[in-house]
Amino acid sequence: MNTLPSDIQIGMKVYDSRHKHIGKVDDFRAPENATDPEIEPADIDATDKVGRESIVDIVARTFDDDPIPEVLRDRLLTEGYVRLDADGIFAADRYILPEQIASASGDEIVLNVEKAALIKRH
């Protein structure tokens, strides 16, 4: 897939290319350039307002604890991503790119790659 499926929801089960359960959707972000004709764009500007966060603050918070290289961060924001809450106490969470999703339906996402191919969240 080149874009995130529109029916992704937090909590969906995620399976790798061997159909092994690897976790669940913790968060996701649609591509920056995605537009839905049914949804009016929010009136957001980059200046702080009393009681409101700036768009810069929101984007910065998205990757707060992740020392991801800027090039990769830009790609995630541009193309969109799914953040995987990986199974296991010591398992690192991961980011899934739209091109790594084979299908999404019902309450599950099936990937076209194994877990090791996903971007590790630190």
Q: Indicate the DSSP class of residue 91.
A: P
Given this model, what pLDDT does residue 104 score? 93
37: amino acid identity, one letter: P
Given this model, what pLDDT does residue 3 score? 81
**Where are the strands (E) in the chain, listed by range?**
13-15, 21-29, 81-86, 94-96, 101-105, 108-111, 119-120
**Per-run averaged pLDDT (10 residues), the chain, 122 residues:** 83 96 93 52 39 49 62 84 89 91 94 93 73
Given this model, what pLDDT does residue 45 score? 40
Q: What is the pTM of this model?
A: 0.70
Given this model, what pLDDT does residue 65 score? 56
Given this model, what pLDDT does residue 6 score? 84
